Structure 1
Amino acid sequence: MSDKSNNYAEYSQFHFYIADYCVFVAMLLLSTGTGIYFGYIRKNVKPVKPTINLETNKHKEPDFGSKAMNEYLLGSRRLKVFPVAMSLIASYISGVTMLGVPSEIYNYGTQYWLIMVSIVLMAVVVSKVYLPVFTTLNVGSSYEYLELRFSSSVRSIASFMFVMDEIFFLPIILYVPAIAFNQVTGVNIYVISGVICVVCVIYTLIGGIKAVVHTDAWQTLVMFIALVVVVILGTIAAGGPGPVFKHASEGGRIIFFNITPSLYERQSFWAVLIGGFFYWTAFNSVNQTMVQRYMSLPSLKKGQQSIIIFTLGVVLFLSVCCFAGLLVFDFYRNCDPLNAGLISLI
């Protein structure tokens, strides 16, 4: 335990240096620059031919009041598959995922890893059931569909609920990685959260959906590359994947078929498979952050292709995060920093 404590003390001295700050500032500037590029330099409001026969469709192609607004919100439905797929990944993967999933695996084992099956099933349902409806009706949002199907009141209520959900959800997305940033820089949590908010608002406000999609795309690639590098270095330090899985098994962390029906179990085969499927389907089928990206593509086929890439990307990303959790367990298996009093929950 003393050796592990010494190792912890050694690693706890790590903090940002000049190169790290340069990379961080460069990402903020590049994000802002992406918004400026698509907002002022590469403006394009040329109309796009619809991929469905609107003469047989009672619902007109939405232009949100003007061609410029249609360009701003949907990119005139001419975005490319790969950037949109990367943006879909970014809509779900965040700092919370990169910190939370390894923590889940470290503390409770690999049962959550089974969520990959639920994600694949979700992709089939969304691409074959939900997406064809949206593309056939040519709606710009899931709430527009609710108005067509029910009434404007239902649309307003659903829109209000979505806004409230984002108001309560987004601060968590900002706060968790801000804590990690604070630990390695000493910068006040609220200051860094405010800076990130301002940058996001600027490039979104100026560049619209195109800026958001392309910023999401390269940010996702940067996050994934960084995570993979950390996992590779950690695996090498642990002596390879063999010892990692061996120690995890000895520590009771390799769990895939906990089939208990108890509702009090944190993770079980049924909870992850069934609950995970309905959660992922609900989020990816009708949540506006996803639907808007689907509808920025020119056709149903392109939308389905983006879902395939999104699914493969998320499965790979989450799998790397899960393995990272096993690496953390391997390092601290003989001296849990929380139980040893080296860290605290508050």
Structure 2
Amino acid sequence: MFFWYEYLVLVAMLIFSTLIGLYFGCFGSKQSTTTEYLFGGKNMKFLPIGISITASQFSAITLIGVPSDVYTFGAFYWFVCLCYVPVFFLAAVVFYPVFFKAQVSTAYEYLEKRFDNKARLLGSFLYLLRENITLPLFIYSPALALSTVTGVKVSVIAIAISLICIFYTAIGGLKTVVWTDVLQFVIIMASTVVITWIGVKSTGGFSTVWNTALAGGRLDIFE
């Protein structure tokens, strides 16, 4: 079960995420234009944007499932990570400049400009179909984990967290999404470092962890 300080971190993150949405939605420019709401006014710095894109690659399935997968089947999963390198390179060099030059808000808008409305509708339909299949998993995984450590029903957690995320995203626009991603990324990285440090220390040091993984065949990426 959670200790009091773990509840504090969870509640603080939800509160700060909501406050970020309220700040960008109710103060400053107040997201009064479409450009401000969808594009962040086109004046955001590269660092928060980069961190936000990086954070979008994480999910509860990643944080919970990948360590379990590597522990069970070995380090073959590293090949998945290697595949990201050329994909991100192509996205940054080929696709993003085209989208930026076309000044489109989504890839589906670009499909309409490049082809026709039918192409846009087909792409949008396939995306919505995929999201309706996968999104419940992304919500259920952290809800299940939180339910295990708090005793609160999975359905209650899933609904509560979803409503909070919908609220701050809807009211604050892109700027809120970016800065909440930055906040969550910092918490994820800090938590990962702390958990790794505790795990390595409690098992006798890095060399012990490495030798144990090596002896158990966990580092054989070709198996």
Normalising by the smaller structure, the TM-score range is over 0.9
Partner of 1:104: 69
From 21, 29, 35, the equivalent of 2:7 is 21
1:29 and 1:90 mapped to 2: Cα distance?
A: 19
From 206, 222, 244, the equivalent of 2:209 is 244
2:65 and 2:26 mapped to 1: Cα distance?
A: 38
Cα 1:114–1:242 change in 2 (3 A) is: farther
Task: State whether structure 2 residue 73 is matched by structure 1 residue 73.
Answer: no
Partner of 2:29: 43
2:34 and 2:101 mapped to 1: Cα distance?
A: 21
Task: State whether structure 2 residue 124 is matched by structure 1 residue 138.
Answer: no
Q: What stretches of structure 1 of length at least 5 have no aligned partner?
A: 1-14, 46-66, 259-346
Partner of 1:151: 116
TM-aligned CA deviation for residue 243 of structure 1: 1.4
From 180, 194, 197, the equivalent of 1:215 is 180
Counterpart residue type for residue 204 of structure 2: G
3-state SS of the aligned residue for 1:183?
helix
TM-aligned CA deviation for residue 19 of structure 1: 2.4
C-alpha distance after superposition, 1:259-304 (max 9, x if no partner): xxxxxxxxxxxxxxxxxxxxxxxxxxxxxxxxxxxxxxxxxxxxxx
Structure scoring higher RCO (CA < 8 A, sep ≥ 6) equals 2
Cα 1:206–1:44 change in 2 (3 A) is: closer
TM-aligned CA deviation for residue 44 of structure 1: 5.9
Q: What stretches of structure 2 of length at least 5 have no aligned partner?
A: none
TM-aligned CA deviation for residue 106 of structure 1: 0.5
Partner of 2:158: 193
2:86 and 2:122 mapped to 1: Cα distance?
A: 29
2:177 and 2:101 mapped to 1: Cα distance?
A: 25
2:197 and 2:219 mapped to 1: Cα distance?
A: 20
Partner of 2:17: 31
Structure whose CA Rg is larger: 1
1:23 and 1:249 mapped to 2: Cα distance?
A: 35
Q: TM-score, normalised by structure 1?
A: 0.62
TM-aligned CA deviation for residue 152 of structure 1: 0.7
TM-aligned CA deviation for residue 99 of structure 1: 0.3
TM-aligned CA deviation for residue 196 of structure 1: 0.3
3-state SS of the aligned residue for 2:33?
helix
TM-aligned CA deviation for residue 26 of structure 1: 1.4
3-state SS of the aligned residue for 2:56?
helix
TM-aligned CA deviation for residue 110 of structure 1: 0.6
1:140 and 1:20 mapped to 2: Cα distance?
A: 38
2:5 and 2:215 mapped to 1: Cα distance?
A: 39
C-alpha distance after superposition, 1:114-170 (max 9, x if no partner): 333222222221122212221222222111111111101110121122122222222
Task: State whether structure 2 residue 210 is matched by structure 1 residue 256.
Answer: no
TM-aligned CA deviation for residue 189 of structure 1: 0.5
| Percentage of matched positions with identical amino acids | 38
Q: State the superposition RMSD in angstroms.
A: 1.5
1:44 and 1:205 mapped to 2: Cα distance?
A: 12
2:96 and 2:54 mapped to 1: Cα distance?
A: 17
